[in-house]
C-alpha cells in the first residue's frame, strides 16, 4: 500500500491503514527525535505526540508524497517546543541553563561502542547543524527539502551540513585523542 492509498484509507476510518504508516515511519522519526532531544524517554513521548497530531490533522495534508517531510516537521516543532519549555523552567528556577547536549554527551561517552561516540558528537553540534546533518544523512532529504522543512535557504542548508560534517570529522579523528 503506497502513502496516498494508506492516507485515503485512514481518512475513511480504517485503523489498520494508520498502523501501516506507524510501522513505516516510526523508526526514522524516533531516530531523529533521539538526536534532537538526547533523551530516549522524551523522544518516545514526542513521537507519540507527533502521531497524535498527525492523525488529528491528516486531512490537511495536501501532498501525500510529502508525508515523511510533514511528519518530520511536526516532530521537530514539538521537540523545539519541549526544549523551550525546559529552558523556561530552568530560568524560572533561577538555575543556569544546561548547555545543549551536555547530558546526552556524557551518557553516550560512557558507552564504548562507535555508535555511542557518534551520537555524543552529534548532540554536541549546534542545533541547526545537527538537524541538517540528521535530515540529510538519516532521511536522505535534499538541501531543497531541508530548506523548506526548516525555513532556511538551500545555501544555509549546505553550509550547516558542511560545517556539521567537518565538526564531526574533527571530533572523531584519532588525532584528537578519541579512544579507538
- The predicted pLDDT at position 156 comes to 95
Q: What is the pLDDT of residues 26-49, one digit of tens each?
A: 999 998 898 888 788 999 999 999
The band of 5, judged by pLDDT with boundaries at 50, 70 and 90, is very high
Here the cell at position 23 is: 510501522
Q: What is the pLDDT of residues 72-127, one digit of tens each?
A: 989 988 988 887 887 777 766 665 545 544 444 433 334 335 666 677 788 888 98
- The predicted pLDDT at position 113 comes to 52
- The predicted pLDDT at position 178 comes to 44
- The predicted pLDDT at position 170 comes to 85
Average pLDDT of the residues of the chain? 82
Per-residue pLDDT, averaged over 152-171, amounts to 92
C-alpha–C-alpha distance, residues 15 and 17, integer Å: 5
C-alpha distances (whole Å) from 47 to each of 26, 28, 72, 140, 169 are 8, 10, 10, 20, 30
Q: Which residue has the higher pLDDT, 82 or 163?
A: 163
HEC-encoded secondary structure of 80-140: HHHHHHHHHHHHHCCCCCCCCCHHHHHHHHHCCCHHHHHHHHHHHCCHHHHHHHHHHHCCC
Amino acid at each position: 500500500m503506497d502513502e496516498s492509498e494508506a492516507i485515503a484509507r485512514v481518512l475513511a476510518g480504517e485503523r489498520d491503514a494508520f498502523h501501516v504508516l506507524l510501522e513505516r515511519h516510526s523508526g526514522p522519526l524516533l531516530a531523529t527525535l533521539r538526536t534532537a532531544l538526547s533523551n530516549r524517554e522524551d523522544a518516545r513521548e514526542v513521537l507519540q505526540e507527533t502521531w497524535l497530531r498527525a492523525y488529528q490533522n491528516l486531512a490537511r495534508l495536501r501532498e501525500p508524497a510529502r508525508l515523511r517531510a510533514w511528519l518530520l516537521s511536526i516532530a521537530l516543532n514539538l521537540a523545539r517546543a519541549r526544549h523551550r519549555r525546559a529552558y523556561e523552567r530552568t530560568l524560572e528556577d533561577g538555575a543556569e541553563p544546561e548547555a545543549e547536549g551536555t547530558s546526552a554527551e556524557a551518557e553516550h561517552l560512557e558507552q564504548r561502542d562507535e555508535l555511542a561516540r557518534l551520537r555524543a558528537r552529534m548532540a554536541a553540534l549546534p542545533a541547526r547543524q545537527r538537524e541538517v546533518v540528521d535530515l540529510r544523512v538519516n532521511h536522505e532529504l535534499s538541501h531543497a527539502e531541508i530548506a523548506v522543512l526548516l525555513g532556511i535557504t538551500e545555501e544555509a542548508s549546505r553550509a550547516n551540513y558542511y560545517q556539521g560534517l567537518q565538526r564531526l570529522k574533527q571530533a572523531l579523528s584519532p588525532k584528537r585523542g578519541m579512544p579507538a
